A and B are shown apart, each in its own frame.
Chain A
Amino acid sequence: MDQLLQQLINALSLGGIYAMLALGLAIVFSIVGLINFAHGDIMTFGGYGIFLSMVFGFPPVAALCIGLGAAVVMALAMERTAFRVMRGADVISLLITSFAVSEILKVLFQNGISARPVPISFPASWSGSYQIGGMTIGVAPTASILVTILSLGCLTFVLRRLAIGMAMRAAAEDFDMLRMLGVRANRVVAAAFAISGLLAGVAAVIWTAQRGSVDPMMGFFPVLKAFIATVLGGLGSLGGAVLGGFVIGTLEVLTQAFLPDALAPYRDAIVLSAVIAVLLVRPDGLLPARSGARS
Chain B
Amino acid sequence: MPSRLRLTLAAAGILAMPFTAHAAAFNWQQYKGQTIHVLADNNPVGHMIETNRAAFEKKTGIKVEVDMFTEQQMRQRLVTVEDARSDPVDVFMTLPSREGLQFAKAGWYADLTPLTKDVAPDYDFAGLSPALIAAGTIDGHLTNIPVNIEGPALYYRRDVFQKCGVAVPKTLGDLPAVAQKLRACEPAMTPFVSRGLRDALAYTYSVFFHNMGGQYVVNGKSGLCSSAGLAALSLYGNMMKEYGPPGSVNYTFYQISALYRAGRAAMAFESTNELSNMMQGGARLHDTGITLLPPGPGGSHPTVIDWGLAISTYSKHKGAAWLLIQYLSSPAVQAANQLAGIAAPRADIASQPAVKQWLAGAPVRQEWQNTLAEMAKTGTSEVGYPIAQNPLSRQYFGDAVDKVILGAATPQAACAAADTKLNALIAGHAE
Q: Do these two chains interact? A: no
List A residues at the B interface (Cβ < 8 Å).
none
List B residues at the A interface (Cβ < 8 Å).
none
